[in-house]
Amino acid sequence: MANIKSAKKRILVSEKKALRNKMLRSRLKTQIKKFVSAVESGNKAEASALYSVTVKMIDQAVAHGILHKNTAAHKKSKLTLKYNKMA
């Protein structure tokens, strides 16, 4: 355990940030699963709505530093392929 006040604060701040990142990553994974299930069920209207929301969440994750931009591009590409195959 840290003895210096600033080190103690850094521990608290990093724990809080890690918790926030974990929450946002979990929310993103859930959103992707919702989109994939909508595509697999063949519901075009729901998949269309969820596609735009999912892509937006991926872009926000990049902006927050949760995902790397190349990882985000890879995920968006996979989702787009799934969506286009459905059509």
- 86 versus 60: the higher-pLDDT residue is 60
Q: Are 46 and 16 in contact (CB under 8 A)?
A: no
Instruction: For residue range 19-63, list pLDDT tens digits in order.
Output: 999 999 999 999 999 999 999 999 999 999 999 999 999 999 999
Q: Where are the alpha helices (H) located in 42-87, listed in sequence order?
A: 44-63, 69-86
Residues above pLDDT 90, as percent of the chain: 93
Confidence check: pLDDT of 80 > 70 = yes
- The pTM (predicted TM-score) of the whole model is 0.85
- What pLDDT does residue 1 have? 78
> What's the confidence (pLDDT) of residue 87?
65
Distance between CA 67 and CA 57 in Å, rounded? 11
Q: What are the structural domains of the chain?
A: 22-86 (1.20.58.110)
State the pLDDT at residue 2.
87
Euclidean distance between CA atoms 47 and 35, whole angstroms: 6
